[in-house]
């Protein structure tokens, strides 16, 4: 769609968020031939051609497909500013692994509350920032109840290097992405603490089962947690040593403080504020959260042996 009074053709994709993840998504979309606008308040020396940097919400909102790539604690503010320039024709997706506040609202909830958009979706799965940025082969999942959102995301992002899978269970994918981000901290911690393949397999199986029950208590479909957006995403973390949550978990197992571990992770780790909220959510609904209680102990500096015992006893 073009802005009123403008003869310029509408860009294909607008990405909101100039952090590592936003830049990576913008670069991935530009490789498919899409015209991409990247809303960023910072300079972007990493971008050499491809996405065009803009500073105005009205400008980025000229794109019909908008991609939200900001931290969960900044999403509501960003959407409120963007919403003044949107209408019901927009398709909105996000790639945020967090849930907002004590109420654990999904980012799609925030999109509906703060903008006129109703056709919303989310990105999830094992794809990582460095894979998108460098154009290395990977896979991601788009969750939405709207076929036109699936079609737009596939057209914008699928390439020889990136496979896009779809699911209608938007809430399930959002919860799976958030919970897997938490569980990946445990995978990194367990690996660094000396857990072998057998113990890691046991941990992942138990953790995914626990996460599926928690997601179901939030209204998601359990099977979504067992698919690529959940189980597959967590399974990939075994080999993704650069994944921020894995880096954080390994650093904590080496005895680093939480602040030191965050510095090593480089990117924001949504799991840090989320883990205790998930524990509280599960307890309030009488759902077993033993694995997540063990993750909370990790963040508090628990000794590796004691934490592993608690994780496998959960």
Task: Reply yes or no on whether the pLDDT at 12 is more than 80.
Answer: yes
Structure tokens at 195: 């857990």
pLDDT in tens, 68-85: 999 999 999 999 999 999
162 and 201 housed in the same domain: no
Is 180 within a domain? yes
Mean pLDDT, the chain, whole residue set: 92
Q: Considering the chain, what percentage of its residues have pLDDT values greater than 70? A: 96
49 and 18 housed in the same domain: yes
Is 19 within a domain? yes
54 and 114 housed in the same domain: yes
pLDDT in tens, 220-277: 999 999 999 999 999 988 888 889 999 999 999 999 999 999 999 988 899 999 999 9
pLDDT in tens, 151-181: 999 999 999 999 999 999 999 999 999 999 9
Q: Residue 39: beta bridge partners?
A: 16, 54
Quick one: which of 295, 299, 291, 196 has its CA closest to 256?
A: 299
94 and 57 housed in the same domain: yes
Single residue among 168, 195, 214 that ends a domain in this structure: 168
Phi, psi of 121 (to 5 degrees): -160, 180
Contact 110, 94 (CB under 8 A): no
CA distances from 164 to 43, 63, 157, 199, 274 (A): 30, 20, 7, 31, 27
Quick one: which of 144, 294, 140, 143 has its CA closest to 211?
A: 294
33 and 93 housed in the same domain: yes
Map residue 241 onto helix, strand or coil: coil
192 and 274 housed in the same domain: yes
182 and 108 housed in the same domain: no
Contact 214, 282 (CB under 8 A): yes
89 and 204 housed in the same domain: no
How far apart (Å, rounded) are the C-alpha atoms in residues 120 and 69? 14
Is 2 within a domain? no
- Which residue range forms the structural domain that includes residue 93? 13-168
pLDDT at res. 305: 79
How far apart (Å, rounded) are the C-alpha atoms in residues 152 and 138? 19
* pTM across the whole model: 0.92
| CATH code where residue 178 lies | 1.10.1040.10
Is 246 within a domain? yes
Structure tokens at 213: 């029950």
163 and 63 housed in the same domain: yes
162 and 186 housed in the same domain: no
- Structural domain count, the chain: 2
How far apart (Å, rounded) are the C-alpha atoms in residues 18 and 24? 9
In SS3 terms, 57-82 reads as: HHHHCCCCEEEECCCHHHHHHHHHHH
CA distances from 279 to 33, 289, 297 (A): 43, 6, 11
161 and 178 housed in the same domain: no
Task: Reply yes or no on whether the pLDDT at 191 is more than 50.
Answer: yes
Number of separate helices (H) and strands (E) present in the chain: 15, 8
How far apart (Å, rounded) are the C-alpha atoms in residues 248 and 26? 26
Q: Under 8 Å CB-to-CB from 146, ≥6 apart: which residues? A: 91, 119, 120, 121
Single residue among 128, 153, 168 that ends a domain in this structure: 168
Single residue among 168, 198, 233 that ends a domain in this structure: 168
151 and 237 housed in the same domain: no
Is 191 within a domain? yes
Contact 15, 39 (CB under 8 A): yes
């Amino acid at each position: 769609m073009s802005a009123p009074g403008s003869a310029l053709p509408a860009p294909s994709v607008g990405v909101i968020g100039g952090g590592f993840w936003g830049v990576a998504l913008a670069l991935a979309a530009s490789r498919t031939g899409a015209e991409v606008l990247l809303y960023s308040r910072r300079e972007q020396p990493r971008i050499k051609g491809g996405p065009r940097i803009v500073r105005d919400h009205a400008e980025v909102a000229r794109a019909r497909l908008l991609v939200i790539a900001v931290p969960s604690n900044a999403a509501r503010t960003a959407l409120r500013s963007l919403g003044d320039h949107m209408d019901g024709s927009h398709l909105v997706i996000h790639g945020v692994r967090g849930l907002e506040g004590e109420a654990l609202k999904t980012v799609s909830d925030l999109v509906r509350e703060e903008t006129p958009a109703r056709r919303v979706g989310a990105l999830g799965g094992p794809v990582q920032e460095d894979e998108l940025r460098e154009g290395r082969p990977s896979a991601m999942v788009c969750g939405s109840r709207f076929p036109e959102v699936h079609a737009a995301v596939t057209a914008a992002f699928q390439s020889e290097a990136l496979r896009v899978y779809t699911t209608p269970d938007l809430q399930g994918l959002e919860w799976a992405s958030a919970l897997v981000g938490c569980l990946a901290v445990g995978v990194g911690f367990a690996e660094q603490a000396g857990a072998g393949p057998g113990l890691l397999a046991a941990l992942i199986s138990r953790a995914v089962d626990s996460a599926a029950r928690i997601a179901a208590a939030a209204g998601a479909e359990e099977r979504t947690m067992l698919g690529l957006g959940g189980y597959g995403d967590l399974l990939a973390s075994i080999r993704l040593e650069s994944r921020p949550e894995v880096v954080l978990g390994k650093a904590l197992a080496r005895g680093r403080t939480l602040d030191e571990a965050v510095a090593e992770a480089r990117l924001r780790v949504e799991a840090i504020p989320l883990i205790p909220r998930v524990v509280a959510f599960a307890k309030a609904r009488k759902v077993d959260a033993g694995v997540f209680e063990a993750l909370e102990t990790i963040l508090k500096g628990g000794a590796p042996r004691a934490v592993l015992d608690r994780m496998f006893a959960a």
